């Protein structure tokens, strides 16, 4: 099997982003047609973990305050950045200011005063409640 795998890799080549093959079909990897691609959960878990590692690195570079936050707040920031991107999260200027000042209640209120909260209310409320819980717990 390893000789066959090596031959396929040689002939197909690896492309890590979606591209159009010679027939105009969206393709990725070693000639995997997107329309035929099925990903098992273990493969998706690996992809998710790698994406999160890369995302956390980007967040740490963009927001110097991030690494000084409690783990629960770090997780909320990563969750929001995963959904809307680092740039999208960076537009939450008041929320970010309140997080930096550890004004948890105000940060949680600002999170809910957004189009994001209107579009994904369940997620926004859950993450906002985590931030609000820091106030209740007395975390500084």
Query: How high is the pLDDT of residue 136?
Result: 75
- Tell me what pLDDT residue 137 has: 75
Which pLDDT does position 63 carry in this prediction? 98
Mean pLDDT by 10 residues, the chain (140 residues): 96 96 96 95 97 98 97 98 98 98 97 97 98 82
How far apart (Å, rounded) are the C-alpha atoms in residues 51 and 45?
A: 10
CB-based contact 92:111 (threshold 8 Å): yes
pTM: 0.88
18 and 33 Cβ atoms separated by less than 8 Å: no
The confidence score (pLDDT) of residue 135 equals: 79
**Beta pairing class for 15-20 and 26-29:** antiparallel
How do 32-33 and 26-29 pair as beta strands? Answer: antiparallel
């Amino acid at each position: 099997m390893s000789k066959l795998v090596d031959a396929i890799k040689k002939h197909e080549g690896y492309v890590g982003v979606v591209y159009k093959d010679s027939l105009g079909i969206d393709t990725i990897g070693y000639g995997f047609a997107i329309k035929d691609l099925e990903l098992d959960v273990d493969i998706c878990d690996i992809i998710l973990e790698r994406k999160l590692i890369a995302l956390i690195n980007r967040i740490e570079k963009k927001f110097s305050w991030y690494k000084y936050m409690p783990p629960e707040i770090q997780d909320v920031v990563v969750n929001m950045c995963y959904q809307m991107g680092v740039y999208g999260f960076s537009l939450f200027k008041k929320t970010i200011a309140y997080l930096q000042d550890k004004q948890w209640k105000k940060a949680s209120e600002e999170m809910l005063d957004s189009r994001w909260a209107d579009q994904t209310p369940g997620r926004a409320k859950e993450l906002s409640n985590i931030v609000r819980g820091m106030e209740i717990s007395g975390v500084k």
